[in-house]
Structure 1
Amino acid sequence: MLQNAAQTYQTNQVTTATPSELTLMLYNGAIKFLKQAKSSLEERNYAKAHEFCLKVQNILYELMSSLKKEYPISYEFDKMYDYMLRRTVEANMRKDVEILSEVENLFTQFRDTWKEAMVLVKNQG
């Protein structure tokens, strides 16, 4: 019952979020899954680590597909997301915690910058 309530809350959060809030949720989700993948690798639970890496990859695919190509900055984001995707795949194949840490650091930088941008936009409005 408690799990159903949590799922309902999470579904409501996603369906009522603005596009910028959804992007922030994706960044936070990727960071969470990267931490879980690293922990799973350290525990030698390779199947779980693989699952978490796939979740990160799916988030990156979603971020890449949501880019608006009419903005030149989108191409720079696309390059970074593609790099992060390739590194996540590599980390998954090599079972490499350090590569996952690199990708996590990039996601953290994206997330923190995104949060700052959201505050600036909110304060202007």
Structure 2
Amino acid sequence: MMNNNVKKYEAVDTLGRTSVELVVKVYDGAIASLKQAAGAYQKGQTKEGYDSIEKAKKFVVHLYTTLDEDKGQDIARRLSQLYAYVIEKLNIVQATKDLSLIDDSITVLSNVREGWDQLAGQIKHTTAKTENEPHQEKPVRGVSFSI
């Protein structure tokens, strides 16, 4: 029952968000899963750590597979390389339990997440500014309308 309520909340939480804000949420999920993995491994809970790494990898794979190389060009290519790097490091963590690689992955993802978050803020600011501009009457072939 509780899990069902959480899923409903998460579904509602995504409504009304921009695609950039949703990307930030995916980064948040990956980072949270990595923190859970680190905590589990530190407590000797190998299975939980492994499972949390798997969850984090799913988030990163989602980011990777949704890249639009036609639109993103060089940025998409660089992000693709970055995601491949993180997934490789997480595979090594699962084999060796080297927690420093979790920290490295969190740092990499957090830095990129920060850039996406700044972009989301700029989009919100621009959208709010545009919505608050006064409407002007524009004549079109003798008819006026507000834009």
Same fold by TM-score greater than 0.5: yes
Does 2:65 correspond to 1:65? yes
- Measure, in 1, the Cα distance between the counterparts of 2:20 and 2:106: 20
1:60-114 C-alpha deviation (Å, 9 max, x unpaired): 1100110001121100100001101101111111111110000001111111111
Identity in percent:
20
- Measure, in 1, the Cα distance between the counterparts of 2:3 and 2:87: 31
What corresponds to 1:86 in structure 2? Answer: 88
- Measure, in 1, the Cα distance between the counterparts of 2:3 and 2:62: 26
1:6 CA drift (Å): 2.5
What corresponds to 1:28 in structure 2? Answer: 28
Greater share of strand: 2
Q: Which gives a bigger RCO, structure 1 or 2 (Cα 8 Å, sep 6+)?
A: 1
Query: Where do residues 23-62 of structure 1 align in structure 2 (5 Å cutoff)?
Result: 23-62=23-62
Question: Hey, which bits of structure 1, 4+ residues long, moved more than 6 A?
Answer: none
1:12 CA drift (Å): 2.0
- Measure, in 2, the Cα distance between the counterparts of 1:3 and 1:57: 22
What corresponds to 2:117 in structure 1? Answer: 115
1:30 CA drift (Å): 0.7
Give the counterpart letter for 2:96 in structure 1.
Answer: R
Consecutive unaligned residues of structure 2, counting only runs of 5 or more, are 128-147
Give the counterpart letter for 1:120 in structure 2.
Answer: Q
Give the counterpart letter for 1:94 in structure 2.
Answer: T
Contact residue 21 and residue 117 of structure 2 kept, 8 A: no
Does 2:100 correspond to 1:98? yes
Select the structure of larger CA radius of gyration. Answer: 2
Give the counterpart letter for 1:74 in structure 2.
Answer: A
Consecutive unaligned residues of structure 1, counting only runs of 5 or more, are none
- Measure, in 1, the Cα distance between the counterparts of 2:121 and 2:81: 25
SS of structure 1 residue aligned to 2:69: coil
1:117 to 1:87, Cα distance in 2 relative to 1, 3 A = same
- Normalization by structure 1: what TM-score? 0.92
Does 2:9 correspond to 1:9? yes
